[in-house]
Amino acid sequence: MLTSLAIRDVVLIDRLDLDFRAGLSVLTGETGAGKSILLDALGLALGARGDSGLVRHGADQASVTACFEVTETHPAFAVLDEQGLEAEAPLILRRVLAADGRSRAFVNDQPASVGLLRRLGDLLVEIHGQFDDRGLLDPATHREALDAFGNHAALLRDTATAHAGWRQAAEALDRAKADAAQARTDETFLRHAVEELDALSPEAGEEERLAEQRSLMMNAEQIAEAMSAALEHLSGERGAESGLAGASRQLGRIAGKAGPILDPALAALDRAAAEAQEAVHLLQSVASELETDPAALTKAEDRLYALRDVARKHGVEVDALPALRDRLAERLAAIDDNGGRLAALETATKAAREAYSAAAGRLSEARRKAAGRIDKAVGTELPPLKLDKARFATRIEELPEAQWGPQGIDRVAFEVATNPGQAPGPINKIASGGELSRFMLAVKVVLSQVSPVPTLVFDEVDSGVGGATADAVGERLARLGDGLQVLVVTHSPQVAARGGQHLRVEKRAGRDSTTTTVVPLSDPDRREEIARMLSGAQITDEARAAANRLMASS
């Protein structure tokens, strides 16, 4: 609910700080006192369009700060989280409007866009007046309002889930069709490429093996010479093997005389001799396998170059050629078996559409039943509001399939007919100013328990009515105030008498300026104000007595 409103330099308001209570609060005052300025100021804080004409003459800027106490589960917090803004209760919306028309917005002292302020404002306050185009006067909100009234949350979840499944199936089918069309276009290329790769039959790691083999064959002669020289050093007459054997013999002759002192050296010579013999065997083995045939070198080079040419043509690495061949073969197989795959996807898409249609149909049926209940409930509220000839009707139409969505297949619109025989039409097109506010009051009375908006503002909802009708308006506003915060600008003493909080808007003229202020009224002051509303400028004892009766009966 709106707990406070701080206004600085807005039109005739110099400095004003207001506190609001829960329940029904009424704002009264003589015509021209400035009640509309208060609504303009509140609208600024809620993201309404700013006009430099709202800045008080002589001031550099105007500012309005609105403070709201809301529960932690209120949808406003989800909006703030979506925008990456941290916030906790209370929510404080502030708008600063410069004299040159530039505007700044803040949420809990964090800079924000005016658009975000408007989104939050729509979730926190509904203002109903003759020129309002927000809240229930916006047809885009009617389907959501009907679903809230009908408690359709489970049906909405089922419909949204089915819609997501249908869209996924349809997208898979579209992709498959596009792939098939592209594959048919590329079929000749694909067949040639697969045949070429099959003929080449590339293997993973083959490029590295061929490159090593080629390098070895290209340097075979030098490698052979080096190995021959190494073998001569190892096993020649004066090679390592001969030298190790001679050293071992020399030490062996005196080993018995030296005792164990030479054992480690003899063991080391034995190991060295064994390692030298192993090296000789390895070199001889490599020498026997070393390929020096020029034809073999040519064959290896041709194979390596062929692999690299094909890889370059397809824009891949040589090692990726086997995987490329498999992918191209899969695309060919898809062409050959495309009819079966597409048929399966079409069957799945058809089934998903039918599932969505069934879920959306159940939601539509529930909406039609809820529409009957809401029409009847609103219709009951109309006669006491001097709208006994009017008719409220909820129109539900099926949308074109291209507009079906997660919320179903229906367009929902609240319509009215103000005279018998007249076709229902949009509320804001059919109803006059005073009728419009009373229609909104009737609808809000019915929807009050399901709306997430905690604060309602009615601007002259009692316009053009009096007596029993004004009393009926006041009774319904008070009933709304039992569950919501309701602020009403009124000229009706019957409505004013029902307020739990009464604020009087006054215009005060000074020597150099005129200002608008708001005065909270005590019970005696309320009686005087209501008496003034009953009798005019001259307040009589009869008017005071009548005011007492109104206050006592409210």
Confidence of residue 55 (pLDDT cuts 50, 70, 90): very high
Among 73-77, 336-340, 435-439, 440-444, the minimum mean pLDDT is found in 336-340
Rounded Cα–Cα distance for residues 328 and 537 (Å): 93
Rounded Cα–Cα distance for residues 515 and 56 (Å): 10
- Range picked from 228-237, 361-370, 537-546 for highest mean pLDDT: 361-370
Q: Which residues pair with 8 in a beta bridge?
A: 15, 63
- Alpha helices (H) along 290-337: 294-314, 321-336
pLDDT single digits (tens) 497-535: 999 999 999 988 877 788 899 999 998 999 999 999 888
pLDDT single digits (tens) 315-365: 888 888 888 888 888 877 777 766 777 889 999 999 999 999 999 999 999
Confidence of residue 263 (pLDDT cuts 50, 70, 90): confident
Angle, helices 142-150/338-381, rounded to nearest 10 degrees: 80
Rounded Cα–Cα distance for residues 441 and 26 (Å): 15
CA-to-CA separations, 226 to 51, 232, 294, 448, 547, in angstroms, rounded: 95, 10, 20, 99, 124
Q: Is 131's pLDDT higher than 50?
A: no
Average pLDDT of the residues of the chain: 85
Query: Quick one: pLDDT at residue 422?
Result: 84
Mean local confidence (pLDDT), 391-420:
93
Contact (CB, 8 A) for 454 and 485: yes
Rounded Cα–Cα distance for residues 277 and 206 (Å): 34
Q: Locate the DSSP E strands across 378-500.
A: 391-398, 410-417, 425-426, 455-459, 485-489
Query: Quick one: pLDDT at residue 433?
Result: 65
Confidence of residue 98 (pLDDT cuts 50, 70, 90): very high
Q: Where do we find the tokens 């389907």?
A: 143
- pTM above threshold 0.85: no
Query: Quick one: pLDDT at residue 16?
Result: 93
Query: Quick one: pLDDT at residue 87?
Result: 81
Query: Quick one: pLDDT at residue 143?
Result: 94
In sequence order, the 6+-apart residues with CB closer than 8 A to the CB of 554 are: 474, 478, 497, 498
Domains of the chain, CATH where assigned:
2-158+429-553 (3.40.50.300), 159-428 (no CATH)
pLDDT single digits (tens) 165-215: 999 999 999 998 888 787 778 888 888 888 888 888 888 887 777 777 676
- Secondary structure (H, E, C), 143-198: HHHHHHHHCCHHHHHHHHHHHHHHHHHHHHHHHHHHHHHHHHHCHHHHHHHHHHHH
Strand 391-398's sheet: what is its strand order? 391-398, 410-417, 425-426
6 torsion bin: left (phi>0), alpha (psi -120 to 50), beta (else): beta
Q: Is 259's pLDDT higher than 80?
A: no
Q: Is 123's pLDDT higher than 60?
A: yes
Residue 343 has a CB neighbour count (10 Å cut-off) of 10
- Range picked from 194-203, 281-290, 434-443 for highest mean pLDDT: 194-203
Query: Quick one: pLDDT at residue 460?
Result: 78
β-strands 103-107, 91-98: how paired? antiparallel
Contact (CB, 8 A) for 443 and 408: no
Query: Quick one: pLDDT at residue 341?
Result: 79
Confidence of residue 464 (pLDDT cuts 50, 70, 90): confident
β-strands 485-489, 455-459: how paired? parallel
- Return the half-sphere exposure (C-beta side, CA atoms, 13 A cut-off) of residue 185: 6
Q: Is 225's pLDDT higher than 70?
A: no
Q: Which two tokens stand for residue 96?
A: 């600063």
